[in-house]
Amino acid sequence: MENKLGLDFIARSIKTTSIVLVIVLSFGLMYLGVYPALALFSGGVWGVLNLMFLSILVQQTIKPGEINKAKVALLLMVKFPLLYAAGYALLVIDVFDQLFLVAGFSLVLVIIVLKVVGRAMFLDQKKSDTNRLQEAG
């Protein structure tokens, strides 16, 4: 395992967050109720879409070679006005509790932090095991 966080890390974080969202939705419908579970799920989907668009936008604008300006313009027109208008619409819907929406918005960030902490702990454990083997050998 490398000590490198690249674009693959973002893709895996999006996939993990999507899986967690489906699990949270299934348990949330049972324990929280319909609207709080849908608010949490909707906020999480918005966070995942935001990170996906941001990742694609960065890939398209910061790359060697020629930049496809039409694609970048389309991404900018979709991400900023439409995605943020959808986020605002979610926040002003009366049936959705804003606390659950913000929790959903933040879920992708929580997943990223947990993945980084887990990776750091794994690498630290691997280094200490290597050091013990070298001292013993």
Torsion of CA 20, 87, 103, 27, to 10 degrees: -40
Per-residue pLDDT, 129: 64
- Mean pLDDT along residues 28-52: 95
Residue 79 to residues 52, 54, 72: CA-CA distances in angstroms? 10, 8, 10
pLDDT digits (tens, 9 = 90+) for 54-108: 999 988 888 888 888 898 999 898 888 999 999 999 999 999 999 999 999 999 9
Per-residue pLDDT, 3: 53
Per-residue pLDDT, 63: 82
Contact between 110 and 47 (Cβ < 8 Å):
no
Question: What count of other Cβ atoms lies within 10 Å of the Cβ of residue 106?
Answer: 14
- Mean pLDDT along residues 34-61: 94
Per-residue pLDDT, 104: 95
**Average pLDDT of every residue of the chain:** 88
1 — pLDDT class (breaks 50, 70, 90) = very low
